[in-house]
């Protein structure tokens, strides 16, 4: 299994890294972590930079060496934290919900659909086509960048809890230039802050499905 020693510094992991986009400092990136460890640094020596990673998984997809960066960084982050600090927990996979016919029927051109970045990137090759099809069929906008990576909000991550990542700045960047009337999210943790910052209704994908099913049953009655 490949590790940080296999990183040769191609910088592809920077392309969709939200921490790099905020800080513009290579030390706060998978490449920076790998190069530091190649030169003898350990988790304690990198205690100020490691927690900035929000574990979104985009670098795993972009890395040509397929190093498995997210898992490795997660282990190093945990080593660098004081006892009792809990790393990011399990997030439900809502991919099957996104495949429901009611989602395809209910999404509108003025909706923003926010894919959960972590679970999407963990199975990117099998899922990116589905989301592209959903976007093209409905006309909605999505949090996909030019590399077809999901732009994460960072909400709920250990990095945010440790105040190492500016989640409000991330959401402002995500929403910049978008004209939407409604936001649909896969991760319920995204709902409250997105609603507060945008003033738009924010529905979980399960709520969109329920709304569409109720609307259909009312129409048929």
pLDDT band at 77 (very low <50, low <70, confident <90, very high): confident
Instruction: Label the pairing between strands 202-204 and 141-142.
Output: unpaired
For domain 4-80, give the fold. Answer: Fumarate Reductase Iron-sulfur Protein; Chain B, domain 2 (1.10.1060)
pLDDT of residue 92: 78
Grouping H, G, I as helix, E, B as strand and the rest as coil, residue 190 is helix
Number of residues written out for the chain: 221
pTM of the model: 0.91
In the block, which residue shows the tokens 């230039």?
177
Fold of 95-155+164-220: Rossmann fold (3.40.50)
Q: What is the pLDDT of residues 154-182, one digit of tens each?
A: 998 888 888 999 999 999 999 999 999 99
How many helices (H) and strands (E) the chain has is answered by 12, 4
Helix (H, G, I), strand (E, B) or coil at 10: coil
| Nearest alpha carbon to residue 94 among 185, 159, 9 | 185
Nearest-angstrom CA–CA distance, 36 and 34: 5
Domain edges within the chain:
4-80, 95-155+164-220
Taking only the tens place, the pLDDT of each residue in 114-150 is 999 999 999 999 999 999 999 999 999 999 999 999 9
Q: Is the pLDDT of residue 80 over 80?
A: no
């Amino acid at each position: 299994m490949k590790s940080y020693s296999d990183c040769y510094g191609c910088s592809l992991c920077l392309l969709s890294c939200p921490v790099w986009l905020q800080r513009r400092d290579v030390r706060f990136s998978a490449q920076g972590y790998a190069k530091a460890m190649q030169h003898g640094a350990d988790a304690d020596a990198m205690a100020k930079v490691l927690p900035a990673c929000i574990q979104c998984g985009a670098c795993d997809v972009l890395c040509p060496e397929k190093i498995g960066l997210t898992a490795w960084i997660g282990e190093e982050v945990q080593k660098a934290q004081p006892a009792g600090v809990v790393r990011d927990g399990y997030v439900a996979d809502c991919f099957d919900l996104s495949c429901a016919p009611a989602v395809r029927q209910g999404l509108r051109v003025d909706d923003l659909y926010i894919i959960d970045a972590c679970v999407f990137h963990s199975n990117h090759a099998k899922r990116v086509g589905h989301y592209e099809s959903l976007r093209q069929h409905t006309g909605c906008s999505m949090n996909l960048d030019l590399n077809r990576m999901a732009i994460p909000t960072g909400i709920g991550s250990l990095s945010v809890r440790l105040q190492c990542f500016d989640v409000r700045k991330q959401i402002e960047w995500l929403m910049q230039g978008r004209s939407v009337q409604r936001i649909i999210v896969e991760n319920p943790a995204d709902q409250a802050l997105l609603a507060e910052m945008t003033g738009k209704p924010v529905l979980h994908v399960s709520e969109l499905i329920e709304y569409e099913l109720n609307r259909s049953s009312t129409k048929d009655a």
